[in-house]
């Protein structure tokens, strides 16, 4: 679209910040360059938060008959990298949200979120998305942001830590980043063969 709406990601990001229960000082967060790729966890999130996040992304894009899901693609790494850099201002509110999710799991099932059955996780996530969890008032906003970050991690260039092995791009049939395309690469009649190429060269082949 040539027209660019003034709505979009930043609006929802603002909502998420407005919904923060406690004020947070972003200066405490280690800021890395937003274009620095990080392929290993930075230990920004606690182990507890990491496990909840991993379980969350696993239910958004599960491994199933249609192929591997968000965890195999490294989506939690993408999210952690983002919260350590470009989206640092969301770190506090989103981790608070993850703990609120696991509190709801304990209230309802007496288990941490990541330990629930898939069916129970999904039931809780539906209520989270619909804003129907007691004492978790901003659950819909938190869900929306984590959902969005999960999609970003699954389908972004592997440079940023997600989409490892081009799992995300293979799922939807995006062949890969190229500097030039031919008419053949725009022909209809079936899926294009995967190229498995990153905008940042062969160092980011996702392996």
Partner 1 sequence: MATNLAEIDVVVVGLGAAGGVAVLPLTRAGLNVVGLEAGTWMNPGRDYKADEIHNNVRSLVTTGNKVAGEIPTVRNSPTATAVQQTRHPMMNAVGGTSIHYHAQSWRLNPWDFKVRSATLERYGADYIPQDTTLEDWPVSYADMEPFYDNVEYEVGVSGKAGNIQGQINPEGNIFEGPRQRDYPMPPLRSCDFLDHMYEAGQSVGYHPYHGPAAINSRPYDGRPGCQYHGYCDRGGCHVRAKNSTDVSTIPKAQATGNLEIRDNANVRRINVDNAGKITGVTYSRDREEFFQTARAVLLGCYTYENIRTLLLSTSAYYPNGLGNNRGQVGKHYFGHWDIQGGTLVTALFPFDLNIWYGAIAQGVMVDDWADDNFDHSGLGFIGGASLHVYTEKHPIGAAAMGTFGKVNRRWGSQWKEFIKKNAGRTQTAYIQTNTFPYHHTWADLDPNVKDPYGVPVLRVTNGRKQNEPMAAAHAANKMEAWFRAAGASAIVNSGGGRGPALSTHAHGGTRMGTNPDTSVCDPWGFSFEAKNLGILGGSVMCTAGARNPTQTIQALAWRTAHHLVEEWDEITA
Residues that bind partner 1 (CB under 8 A): 1-11, 13-14, 34-35, 59-62, 64-67, 69, 86, 122, 125-126, 129, 147-148, 150-152, 154-157, 159-160, 168-169, 171-175, 177-181, 183, 185-192, 199-200
Q: Quick one: 135 or 190, whose CB is closer to partner 1?
A: 190
CB of 96 to partner 1, least distance (A): 21
Residues in the chain: 207
CA–CA distance, 6 with 37 (Å, rounded to integer): 29
Q: Quick one: 4 or 47, whose CB is closer to partner 1?
A: 4
Q: Quick one: 186 or 202, whose CB is closer to partner 1?
A: 186
Looking up tokens 């725009």 gives 186
* Angle made by CA atoms 121, 131, 108, in degrees to the nearest 5: 40
Write out the two tokens for 135: 């004492």
Share of the chain residues as helix, strand and coil, in percent rounded to the nearest 5: 55, 0, 45
Nearest of 88, 79, 93 to residue 26 by alpha carbon: 88
CB of 131 to partner 1, least distance (A): 14
Q: Quick one: 135 or 191, whose CB is closer to partner 1?
A: 191
């Amino acid at each position: 679209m040539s027209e660019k709406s003034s709505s979009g990601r930043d609006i929802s990001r603002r909502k998420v910040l407005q919904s923060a229960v406690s004020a947070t000082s972003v200066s405490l967060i280690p800021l890395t360059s937003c274009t620095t790729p990080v392929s290993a966890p930075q230990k920004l999130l606690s182990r507890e938060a990491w496990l909840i996040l991993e379980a969350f992304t696993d239910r958004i894009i599960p491994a199933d008959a249609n192929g591997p899901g968000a965890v195999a693609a490294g989506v939690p790494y993408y999210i952690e990298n983002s919260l350590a850099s470009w989206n640092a201002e969301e770190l506090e509110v989103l981790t608070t949200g993850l703990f609120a999710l696991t509190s709801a799991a304990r209230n309802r099932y007496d288990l941490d979120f990541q330990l629930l059955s898939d069916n129970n996780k999904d039931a809780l996530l539906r209520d989270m998305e619909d804003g129907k969890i007691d004492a978790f008032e901003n659950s819909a906003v938190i869900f929306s942001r984590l959902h969005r970050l999960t999609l970003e991690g699954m389908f972004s260039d592997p440079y940023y830590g997600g989409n490892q092995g081009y799992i995300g791009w293979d799922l939807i049939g995006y062949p890969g980043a190229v500097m030039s395309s031919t008419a053949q690469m725009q022909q209809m009649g079936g899926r294009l063969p995967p190229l498995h190429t990153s905008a940042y060269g062969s160092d980011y082949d996702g392996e």
